[in-house]
Structure 1
Amino acid sequence: MAGRLEGKIALITGGVSGIGLGTVELFVAEGACVVAADLQDEKGAMLEKRFPDRVRYAHCDVTVEADIARAVQLAVDSFGGLDILFNNAGHGGAPGNVSEIDAAGWDHTFALLVRGPALGMKHALPHMVKRGGGSVINTASIAGLQAGFGPLAYSTAKCAVIHMSKCAAAELSPLKIRVNAICPGLIATSIFGASMGLPREVADQMAARMEEIAPKIQPIPKAGMPEDIARAALYLACDDSLFVTGTHIVVDGGLTIGGRGSWDPGAANPILDALGITPEQAEQMRLAMAAQQQGS
């Protein structure tokens, strides 16, 4: 049976670790040829050795437009075109709150997380047009949807990615190019530790710690893994989503559903707590209301 991406050519930025690596592996398994663009040359070389006929590595800093252009051209030169662009490269952005904004850090965060994907679309566009259309997938975040899930610069940039995806989808729809975003929740990768300035080895250990913590703080009691995001990217990349554009898919184990009281029956309800109503009193009130409704 042919894979869902048989004959397709993809470029994935941040493609040699974490979510990017998981997506490269899944896309190859589904029949795609992939250019993995990243800054980790040793891992890139290893990835090429694993998939010598299906993967090419491009050294690419997505804050540098020339690097993006070269990565796109590598896909064209190596495999004949470009059908799928997954703008996934990123990190946690500049730390700090409003009173601590650093202009250079803010600008670099936006250059990486917003301008990079924008320029990726720019350079992919003519090649997708030649192929009769394509799919662009941008990695956003639940931090772009709600406060409290990331630093100010990162959260604001990810919100911009969501809206940029919508605007680009409107513009590119006549060209049969779909544009969507994915909003990951807590995924067990090194991005959290790396955003704190920790060495790569320590950041990787923090990713393992995330596997322990995440199941305890969200409705679906498992850690989010790179393959969870890769599966969402596969859906948006393949023909299963031909009628989907200009939207974002939240992949977060239900973390943004609501407060713990909305999904954990053992958790206190903050509204009842504020009113001074105990769980026992709340249950008595519920039973009384049920009895009243039955009697009416």
Structure 2
Amino acid sequence: MNKAARFTARLLLTTFFAAPAAAADSASHHMSENIDEAYTIIKDFIAQKYGRDHPVPPGEAESETPNGEEPGYPLALAQCSTGGDNYVSEGPLRQTLIAIAFMTLVAEQQLSRAKYPPDLWEPALDDFETKALNSVNEGKRLGFEEWPSLENASEEINNNIRTRGMKMRPTTPFSECGGGPARFRIHVEPNSARAMLMPKMMYTYCKTIGKDPSNREACDFWHAPIEHEQWVYLGGVYKLRFQLGANLTPIEEFDFDRYLDGDTVVLRAKH
């Protein structure tokens, strides 16, 4: 399987299953009806979390080459964390918008760090981002052959390098990538409680559009409740609350990136 196929397969793992139909006044319905606004909120969140010049978590970006000089291997536009793996979020639309934002920001970062002149690559990335959002507005999702990819942007950048006779390494759409988020066994305390999680990005989205995050119907991005000793696939920072009988605990924050794949993670309800 080539790099692009591995990337797409890994991304589709968290996007393939359709989300339930959204209520007309819910946050997910707002997202489906206001895709460009939703994308702006999501992209701004990612840029602010990691810093616009550093959208990839530290240690995961490809090594730099001063002044873009060619070291003998291509510069990958997308990295292993690209595609929203830092934000496991149910629903094809959410994950697709996260993926576009991550791919655009990471590619900008890679090219800027390697000191490629902006006029060499900005039009190509702008075109990728515009076509990708147009495809989403047309109802397409990642995984379809007609969906725009970074391959076209990479080819355009490489053509610019050749046309100008520049001594810079060519670009490639994707680097070698491993797995994304990790699988955890959740230990809930007390054992009778149920843990409820929502990606922090989606919590921010609800607050931005005026939906109460504590209202599961209005802010319908909460994942299904997690039972004691259940195995789950998660990654990134989440908002967390517990259901204790008929009561719900206040919303708190929990970072799953502190744990390794296969770990037992204790989620403890505060009384």
Query: TM-score when scaled to structure 1?
Result: 0.26
Which has more strand, going by share of residues? 2
Whichever of the two has the greater Rg, that structure is: 1
Which has more helix, going by share of residues? 1
Query: TM-score when scaled to structure 2?
Result: 0.28
